[in-house]
Amino acid sequence: MISLAFDIGGTFTDFVLFDRRADRTWFLKVPSTPKAPEKAVLAGIDEILRKADIELAAVDMVMHATTVATNAIIERKGANVGLVTTEGFRDILIIGRQKRYETYDLYIDKPAPLLKRRHIHEVRERVAYDGTVLKPLDPASVETAIDALCKSAHETVAVSLLHAYANPSHEHEIRSRILQRAPHIAVSISSEVSPKFREYERTNTTVANAYIKPLVDRYVALLQSALSDRGYRHDLFIMQSSGGLVAPDLAREYPIRIVESGPAAGVLMCADVGRQEGFNQVITFDMGGTTAKLGAVDEGKPALVPSFEVDPIRYKKGSGLPINAPALELIEIGAGGGSVARVEQGMIAVGPESAGSEPGPACYGRGGKRATVTDANLVLGYIDPGYFNGGAIKLDRAAAEAAIIEDLAGPLELGVGEAAWGAHLIATKNMEHAMRLVSVERGRDPRRCVLVAFGGAGPLHAARLARLIGIPTVVVPLGAGVGSAVGLLQADPRIDVTVTRVLRLDMSTDDAIAAIYGGLKIQAEQELRHLKAAHQVRWSRYAYMRYAGQGFEIQVDLPDGDISTGYAELAVEAFHESYARKHRWAERGAAVEGVDWVLVATVPAGSHGGLRLEGAVNDSNQARAPVRKAWFPEKGGFTETRVVDRRALSALGSLRGPAIVEDPDCTVVILPGDTVHISSAGNLRIDVSLEERHS
C-alpha cells in the first residue's frame, strides 16, 4: 500500500509519501501558489515521486487537505449566489443574530454577507416546527423566484425555508423545479446541507455552501483529471472539517464540509502521536506565523463541535460567519511567530495583528520594523539566526534587537532581554488562556493530558505553556513541520449525517429515536455509495442534548446496537454523565431533551500507527555551536545553554534543561528542571517539572 498526502497551507504546500511495505516515508515542502493552488500540488507530486522513484500509477490512495474553500469565503471570491426563502423572512441573513462582538464599539459593521439583498427571493409556503405543512408551496411564487434567479444569471443557488429540517418536501420541490428550468444552476438546500434548527445559522451555512460550490467543484475536477492524466487510478480523498475523509463527489456537492480541512488533519496527527505515546487525553497545539490553534483528543478520539465561525474579526466570537458543519474542536487565537508586540497603557500587548511573512518580523530583513514574537524569540536566544527553517531563511539578530528596544524596552524602561522575555511570556499567556478554555473549562484535567506541539513555533513555546497550565508531558513528533500532511495519512473516510428533532426523552420515546436513526441510516447509505472503498462500515451515534428548558446543548455519545426498549433511558443516563463531566454538576431527575441527532459512518482505511517518520524536510547539515546564551528567568536571565541536534538526542539518552533541541523544521526549548528524550516511537518527549515556579 502506497499513500500520498498533501496539505495546502497559506505559505507552504506539504507532502508526505508513505510506502507501507517498504516502510519508507518521504517529505516535501514547496511554496504554495495561492492563485492556482493545483500548480504547487502537481509540481510537488512530480518531485516527491521522483525522489522516491515511484510512479503515480502505483499509488493506492491520495489524500488532500485544502484551504481553497476557506479562502474563497475569507476573500469573498466565491460565486454569484442567489437565495430562495420563505415569504416574510427575506432578511434572515441580513439580520443575523444581531449581537455586537465589541460591546463598547458602536462604529463596527457586521460581517459582510455572501450575497446582497437583491439576490434573495421569497416563495409562499410555511412549515411548522413539527413538520406540519401550514401553507402549501405556491407554484406561481416559485416560478416568479426562478425568473428572478435566471435574470441575475446565478450559477449557484441556496434554498433555505423555515423549519425545513423538520420537513424538507418544499425545498425538494423547489430544487427540482429550478433544475427543470435551469439545469446549469447548482442548487444547495438547507435540509441537506444543514438540517438543524436556528434559521440564521442554517441559512448562512447553506448560502456558504452554494457560494463556494462552483469554485471547489472546478478545483476538485481539475485535480482529479490531472491525477488521472498522470496515471492515478483510484479516488482522490479530501479531508473534511470533521477529521474524516470524503470522496470527491461529496466534497463537490457539500464543499462546506471541507472548510477546516487542514487544521483537522493536524489534530488527527496529534491523536495518532498520543496513541503511540500511550495517552488517551491529548491537547493539540499548532502555532504558526499568524495564529495558534488548540484542540483536544478525548479517549483517543478528536473532539468534535457542531459548528464554527469562518473569517472572524480579531478572533472574536460572533464576528465571523457561523457554519453548521461538524468540525474538530479548535480554538484559534491571534498568537503566532509574526504577532506584533507593543506597549498599551504601560503593559505589553501581543497580537492579534501579525506581520505575516510580508513584511514579516523585523529579523527577516524584508522591511518589517515592528517587534514580533519571532524577534523576541531570536533575542532570547531560542532561535539560531543561521538555522531558521533549516537555514532556508537567515535572520538578522541586530534588527530584532533594535525593534524590541524601539517598541518595548524603551517605552517600558526595561532591558532588551526583559522586554523580549515579556513579549514571549505574554504570547504564551494568551495561549494559556485559550488552552484553559480547551482543557479545564471543558472538564479536561491537564494533569492527565499530553500536549502534542507542532507547527513552526509550537515546539518553542510548548514546554512553558505546559508548565503554566499544569500538563506534565509534551511531545514533539517527527515531521512536526508537516504535521497536517502526516495527519492525512491517519484519516478514515467518514460520513456524518444529522437532523434536528427536539424530543423530551422518557420511556415512550424509544420508537421515535429508532425512527430518527432509521431515516439517518438511509441518508448515510446513499452517501456511502460515493465511497468506492465502502466495505466494513463502522457505525456510531451521538446527540446534542440538554435539560428541558435550556438553550445550549452538549454532545453525548449514544450507545451502539439496536434501538429498542430502554434506549431513551440509556441516552438520558449518558447525558447526565457528560453534563457532570463538563459542568461539575448534574441534576438527575430533571427532564432531558435530545435536540440534534447524528449518525456517523466510518470506513477504516488510515495507516494508524504504521508510520515511521525518518529523515527531514530541509537540511543544511551544517555544524552548529554546541552552546549559546538563552534567556531563562529561572536562571536569572541569559545563561549558557546547551544546543543539541534532534538526531543526536537518542544517543545522549536523556537531557536536562535548560537546553535547546534543533530540528530543521522547528526549535524545541527545554526549560530548567525539565528533561527530554526520544521515545521508543521516535517522538521527542519532554517531562515537564511542574514544581518549578514561574514569575
Give the residues lining the site for other proteins (CB under 8 A). 88-92, 94-100, 102-110, 116-118, 128-129, 134, 162-163, 197-200, 343, 345-349, 412, 414, 418, 421-422, 425-426, 429-430, 433, 436-437, 441, 502, 547, 549-552, 583-585, 695
Q: Which is nearer to other proteins, 431 or 613 (CB)?
A: 431
Q: Which is nearer to other proteins, 104 or 691 (CB)?
A: 104
Find all residues with CB under 8 Å of 35, minimum gap 6, and list them. none
Q: How far is Cα 613 from Cα 477, in angstroms, rounded to an integer?
A: 9
Q: Which is nearer to other proteins, 205 or 240 (CB)?
A: 205
Q: Which is nearer to other proteins, 85 or 490 (CB)?
A: 85
The CA-atom distances, in angstroms, between 422 and each of 164, 271, 274, 417, 637 are 53, 32, 32, 8, 12
Q: Which is nearer to other proteins, 29 or 126 (CB)?
A: 126
Place of cell 531570536: 378
Cell numbers for 298, please give them. 478525548
Q: How far is the CB of 115 from other proteins (least distance, A)?
A: 11
Cell numbers for 91, please give them. 432578511
Q: Which is nearer to other proteins, 50 or 118 (CB)?
A: 118
Q: Provide the sign of the torsion angle of the four alpha carbons 425, 427, 431, 436, taken in this order.
A: positive
Write the DSSP assignment of 594-634 as a string of letters. EEEEEEEEE-----TTT----S-SS-------SEEEEEEGG
Strand partners, 453: 285
Q: Which is nearer to other proteins, 550 or 607 (CB)?
A: 550
Q: How far is Cα 599 from Cα 291, in angstroms, rounded to an integer?
A: 32
Q: How far is the CB of 88 from other proteins (least distance, A)?
A: 4
Q: How far is the CB of 315 from other proteins (least distance, A)?
A: 13
Q: How far is the CB of 102 from other proteins (least distance, A)?
A: 7
Q: How far is the CB of 274 from other proteins (least distance, A)?
A: 26
Q: How far is the CB of 663 from other proteins (least distance, A)?
A: 29
Q: Which is nearer to other proteins, 159 or 162 (CB)?
A: 162
Q: How far is the CB of 116 from other proteins (least distance, A)?
A: 6
8-state DSSP, 90? T
Q: Which is nearer to other proteins, 43 or 343 (CB)?
A: 343
Q: How far is the CB of 519 from other proteins (least distance, A)?
A: 19
Indicate the helix (H) or strand (E) that contains 486.
Answer: helix 483-489
Strand partners, 388: 393
Q: How far is the CB of 579 from other proteins (least distance, A)?
A: 9
Q: Which is nearer to other proteins, 118 or 184 (CB)?
A: 118
Q: Which is nearer to other proteins, 318 or 391 (CB)?
A: 318
Q: How far is the CB of 441 from other proteins (least distance, A)?
A: 6
Q: Are 81 and 210 in contact (CB under 8 A)?
A: yes
| Phi-psi category of residue 106: left, alpha or beta, with phi > 0 → left and psi -120 to 50 → alpha | alpha
Q: How far is the CB of 94 from other proteins (least distance, A)?
A: 6
8-state DSSP, 110? P
Q: Which is nearer to other proteins, 90 or 397 (CB)?
A: 90
Q: What are phi and psi of 264, to 5 degrees?
A: -65, -40
- Closest C-alpha among 351, 328, 278 to residue 438: 328
Find all residues with CB under 8 Å of 543, minimum gap 6, and list them. 555, 556, 558, 571, 594, 595, 596, 597, 598
Q: How far is Cα 294 from Cα 218, in angstroms, rounded to an integer?
A: 32
Cβ neighbours, 10 Å, residue 215: 18
| Phi-psi category of residue 452: left, alpha or beta, with phi > 0 → left and psi -120 to 50 → alpha | beta
Q: How far is Cα 353 from Cα 340, in angstroms, rounded to an integer?
A: 6
- Closest C-alpha among 630, 628, 609 to residue 683: 609
CA angle 674, 675, 676 (to 5 degrees): 130
Q: How far is the CB of 129 from other proteins (least distance, A)?
A: 5
Q: How far is the CB of 654 from other proteins (least distance, A)?
A: 30
Q: How far is the CB of 156 from other proteins (least distance, A)?
A: 20
Cβ neighbours, 10 Å, residue 677: 16
Q: Which is nearer to other proteins, 103 or 622 (CB)?
A: 103
Q: How far is Cα 333 from Cα 181, in angstroms, rounded to an integer?
A: 46
Q: How far is Cα 105 from Cα 563, in angstroms, rounded to an integer?
A: 51
Q: Which is nearer to other proteins, 108 or 398 (CB)?
A: 108
8-state DSSP, 383? S
